[in-house]
Every structure is written in structure tokens, then in C-alpha cells.
Amino acid sequence: MPLDKNTLLDAVKEAKSKSGDKKFNQSVELILDIKEIDMKSPEGKIQQVIELPHVTGKPNKILVIATGELAMNARNAKVDKVMEKPELEDLAGKKKDLRKLANTYDVFLAEAPLMPLVGRTFGPVLGPRGKLPVPVPPTADITVLVKRHRKTVVVRMRNQPIIQCAVGTADMKEEEIVDNIQAVLRMLEGKLKRGLKNIKFAFIKTSMGTPVKIKP
């Protein structure tokens, strides 16, 4: 499995050329088929948040759960939604509302002292989606964190030896998409027992396009 930039660049260009309907900004996804791995071992349960080098044309939507100054700073940082403690408490047991929020937002940042309440309220809906809240100290620079989490992606492997994650959007430069792919592959190189030799097949595809195999 290559980390070679030119090989990846060729695959990205081909995937974009086969993207079909271009009426919206399609996501570009990396799909990996993993081999020789025990799915019951810790190695078979990968869940890692990676900060990509380049923000995509569909930056993550962020919900910040905070109080006081941190909530005010989050609003100034132009996050998509700020939720304070009373609203959080009001959501307890409202599964439909919680599911809607879990599906609407990509990243959940929670003020550290609120984490126990956030965990009890949101845990059952966020856990299965791989969107567990990230604890934030009350004095943290939320602007920096928001900027970072706009371009994070969750790389997960559950039940099947397949990894599928967004690495860009069709409007991005091919070189930027390649940088993002390489960031994901570098993480997996450290996580998998045999590194990239554990990857059986790798594909790039756009939302509406046909998968393009990355040729080793």
C-alpha cells in the first residue's frame, strides 16, 4: 500500500473524473479493506480522531456545551451551536431530540466540569456514531480548538475489517486531498500490527462516483 504522492494523486484525479452528477460539492472518501487482523483484539477496534492538514469544503459542524465565559467565547468563535447547562438538562431522556442533534453536528466539545452530565445525556446517542464529546478546560482557547476540530475526521473500524472516512471534497485541490489521505495512512501505519501491509485493498471515491482502486 503506497504512501507515494504521485500514485495517490493519480487515483484522486481519476476518482474526481468519475464523480458523475456534479450538482453539489461531493465528498471524497478513502475506503480501506484490512487483512490479517483479529477483529476481537484491541487492534480490530480502531477509533481515532485525526486532524487533517486541510479543511474540506464541508467543514465539521461543531456544537459546544459550556457555561459562562467559555460559552461566550464559543459564540465569538462562530461555532454552529452553543448549548448551556439548562438546555442540556432539559434534553435528558428526549431521545428524538438527542438523535437529531447527534445527526446534525459532527463534533461535540464539552466544558470539562459538565462532562458527567454530558455523558449521561448524550452518551447513548453519540457513542455508536463515534462522536464522543471532547472535554475542554474552562480556560481553554476555544477559538483554536474550533479551528482544529473543523478539519478532524473519525477513523473507525467496528465489526468488519473495513475503514471508510471522508478525506476531502471534490472542490479541493488534488494535492490537498492527497495530504489528507497520507495523514490517515500515517496514523494507521502506527496502529496496525504490520502497518500498511495490513491493507489489502484501497479505494478513492466521490459521493456519487465509482470507486477507483489505488494501485500499489
Residue 12 and residue 45 in one domain: yes
Under 8 Å between Cβ of 207 and 20: no
CA angle at residue 13 from 7 to 184, to 5 degrees?
60
- Indicate the residue among 107, 126, 149 that finishes a domain: 149
Contact in structure between 39 and 84 (CB atoms under 8 Å): no
Report pLDDT digits (tens) over 42-59: 778 888 889 999 998 899
pLDDT band, residue 21 (cuts 50/70/90): confident
Kindly state the average pLDDT of the residues 9-16: 93
User: Which among 101, 123, 149 is the end of a domain?
Assistant: 149
Alpha carbon distance 189, 181 (integer Å):
12
The domain that holds 183 is classified in CATH as 3.30.190.20
Q: In the chain, what percentage of residues exceed pLDDT 90?
A: 74
> How much is the pLDDT for 45?
84
Q: Do 167 and 181 have their domain in common?
A: yes
Asked if residue 187 and residue 122 are part of one domain, the reply reads no
In whole numbers, what is the pLDDT of the chain averaged over residues? 92
Closest C-alpha to 111, from 68, 147, 143, 152:
68
Domain end call among 149, 168, 201: 149
Are 121 and 187 within one domain? no
**pTM for the whole structure:** 0.86
Q: What is the pLDDT of residue 85?
A: 96
- The boundaries of the domain holding residue 180 are 5-57+151-213
Residues 27, 70, single domain; the answer is no
Domain CATH number, residue 78: 3.40.50.790
Average pLDDT of 159-169?
Answer: 93
Pairing of strands 152-156, 162-169: unpaired
Task: Let me know whether 134 and 119 are in one domain.
Answer: yes
Helix (H) or strand (E) holding 33: strand 27-34
Per-residue pLDDT band at 216 (split at 50, 70, 90): low
Indicate the number of domains in the chain.
2
The DSSP secondary-structure symbol of 19 reads -
Q: Looking at residue 34, what is its pLDDT? A: 92
One domain, residues 171 and 117: no
